[in-house]
Each structure stands twice: as structure tokens, then as C-alpha cells.
Amino acid sequence: MTSNKVAVILGANSNLGLNIALRLVELEDPKSNITFIVTSRTQERAEEAAKKIEGSIRTIERPGKVKFDSFVVDLTSMKSVKTFANELNSKYKVINYFFNNAALGLCDGINWLRAILEVCTSPKKAVTDPGYRIQKKGVVSDDGMGYVFQANVFGAYFLIHQLLDPLSKGKASVVWISSICSTSKYLSLSDIELIGSDRPYDGSKRIIDLLQLATYKELKSKGIYQYVVQPGIFISQSFSQQLNIFTYWAMFLLFKLARFWGSFWHTIDGYKAANSAVYAATFVDKDFERQDLKYGSATYNDGAEYIKPQEIEEEGKNLVYKYVESKRLEWEDKLKDE
């Protein structure tokens, strides 16, 4: 019997989003029909994502059909998130995969002096956890929330809770994309919305890790399997935006050298970066696999890929969970008539 699978990819037009779709098509049963729900903040980019995915899977021979449904959603607007949730709930009774790949960093340029110093004195850090990328501080959304917190964490957290019914019916795999830089030093527990932080992007990824530990059991009791993964370091639009042709190639070369010298996190290309997301989403025996680990996309120095699981430090888990959950209830009430 032909099965029908539905996969939501938030931020589908990014390098990682496109490759998650490609790898999912490669791994899913070729007889199944797959509908990709692709999102962007503009209709044009959402449709472009669908076209790009269609192009990349053209050579894969499969009797099952692949279809696309594109939506506009801005995670920094709770009204937009609620509207999207309503549309999905009325159109899709079952959802099988949900990838929260959307994120932003509010990068405000590069501190070139620091970049040169870091590259010369600590090249590994310079290409793994760069301190020279300036992130905007103190930005608040129109909803009155920390902008990066809402875009990278809260919007998707709220959305998942609005979609519990179709996710549960689909025994869905829910995958959050974290980062290797999601360490506790980037999150102050007295500033969970990251408004005063000068590394809000990294702090938001730390919140994702902690929310995973706090919520996966509850979701599992509803038949939803949630995982947290990280893609390593790869070339993306957000990476290239800050660079010119010379600095782009210099950075690319440094990535290659870092990998050659033993940095397993330099996945560099989007396809290898997407390995962990699709690996976790397609676990065969979901009840057997650990959900308290972060699955990382890694490569050997010759570029061959593998999965590297990491333990997640749980300090602050309950505090973060309580904060985000109370915010969710507050917004559920505010949007109950939408």
C-alpha cells in the first residue's frame, strides 16, 4: 500500500533546509508519496525553495510522488505563527516530520581586527566559535519579545504546541537544529529572552538544547519523537552575506584546512551538514534511540561523513522550561480568538 508522508521544513530555502529535503527523499520509502510544507518570510522564496528541491531530487528514481505546499510565516510575529498553525491544522490531519531549521543571527558585521588576531593566534577557534562576528544586542520584536529568542526558539515552540494533534497522529519526528556553539556561557538565566546578550544567536541554541531535555518525554507520551541535532559548520547564506569574494574564499580555505587538521565539525557543504537532521528523523526503532543526546553531523579529515552524538549539560533546564512554557500559555490566551 502507498503511504503518504507530510514533512514541514521551516526556513526551507536555506542551504540546510534544501539538503534536509533532498536527504529525506533519498531515505524515505521510494513508494511513499511525500508532501513538503516549505516556509519562508516571503512567498517568492518559499516557492523558490520548492523549485530548488524539485530540481535536486529529479535524478532520484522513485515511484512515489513528491509534492510541495508553500507558506509564508514569520516566526517573529505570533499572529503569523498562529495563522500558519490554523492553516496546517485545517489542511493536514497528519504530519510525519517537522524540522525547525529557521534561524537568524542579526549579524552586524565583522570586527576585522579581532578576526585577524583570532585567525593568527587561535585559528581553530576562529573557524569554529568566532568571536569577531558582531551580533546586534537588545533588539525586541513587535510582539515585545527578544527578537532572536522569538525567531529561533519561541515561534517554533509555540507552533509545535499548536500542532500536537497532527504530529501525534503522524507519530512525528520533530527535529530542532542547534549548534556546536550552544554552550552555557552564552545564556544568562536572568535574561532568557537574550535581550541583554551580545551572543543572542548562540544563547538561543543553548535554550533549544535545554528545552529538548525538558520536553522530549512529555512529547513522547503523545507519540511525538523530538530530537536535537547540530549540522557542524557549513557554507550558508548567512555565512556569505558578510564576506566579499576574497574573504569568502579565504574562509572556505580555512574551513578545509581546519577539517584536514582534524576538526570533525567542519562539514562545509550543506548535504553533509544535513546528515544528523535526517539521521535522527528516520530512526527505525525510535523507542530504542536516546533523545537526551545532541546528534552532530561530523566528517573525517578526508570529508567522509559520520554522526557524532554529544551529551547536553542540563544546568538551567527547569528554569528555562518554566519561563518558555509560561510564555506559551500567555500567548495561547492572547491569540485564542485568532
**Residues assigned a catalytic role:** 178, 201, 205
Query: Contact with ligand NAP (CB under 6 A): which of 6, 7, 13, 66?
Result: 13
Across the beta sheet with 97-100, what order do the strands follow?
66-72, 33-40, 4-10, 97-100, 173-177, 225-230, 293-299, 305-311
Q: How far apart are alpha carbons 149 and 171 in whole angstroms?
A: 28
Counting contacts by CB under 6 A, is residue 101 touching ligand NAP?
yes
List Cβ neighbours of 325 (8 Å cut-off, separation of 6 or more): none
Closer to ligand NAP by Cβ: residue 5 or 294: 294
Interface with ligand NAP in residues 178-217 (CB under 6 A):
179
Interface with ligand NAP in residues 142-161 (CB under 6 A):
151
Counting contacts by CB under 6 A, is residue 233 touching ligand NAP?
yes
Which region among 8-16, 112-120, 286-294, 297-305 touches ligand NAP (by CB under 6 A)? 8-16
Query: Contact with ligand NAP (CB under 6 A): which of 234, 255, 271, 279?
Result: 234
Which region among 6-14, 82-90, 295-303, 329-337 touches ligand NAP (by CB under 6 A)? 6-14
Paired strand residues for 5: 34
Which region among 90-98, 186-194, 226-234, 303-311 touches ligand NAP (by CB under 6 A)? 226-234
Closer to ligand NAP by Cβ: residue 5 or 266: 266
Identify the DSSP state of 184: G
Query: Contact with ligand NAP (CB under 6 A): which of 33, 114, 131, 239?
Result: 239
The CB-of-268 to ligand NAP minimum distance in angstroms stands at: 9
State how far the alpha carbon of 165 is from the alpha carbons of 92, 156, 178, 215, in Å: 10, 16, 25, 16
Q: Which of 294, 150, 152, 156 is nearest to 213 (CA)?
A: 294
Query: Contact with ligand NAP (CB under 6 A): which of 45, 133, 206, 259?
Result: 45
Crossing angle of helices 317-334 and 200-220, in 10° steps, is 80
The CB-of-325 to ligand NAP minimum distance in angstroms stands at: 21
Instruction: Pull the grid cell for residue 65.
Output: 510522488
Question: Given the DSSP bridges, would you call strands 225-230 and 293-299 parallel, antiparallel or unpaired?
Answer: parallel
Cβ atoms 39, 12 nearer than 8 A: yes
Counting contacts by CB under 6 A, is residue 283 touching ligand NAP?
no
Report the interface residues with ligand NAP, using CB under 6 A.
11, 13-17, 40-41, 45, 73-76, 101-104, 151, 177, 179, 230-231, 233-234, 236-239
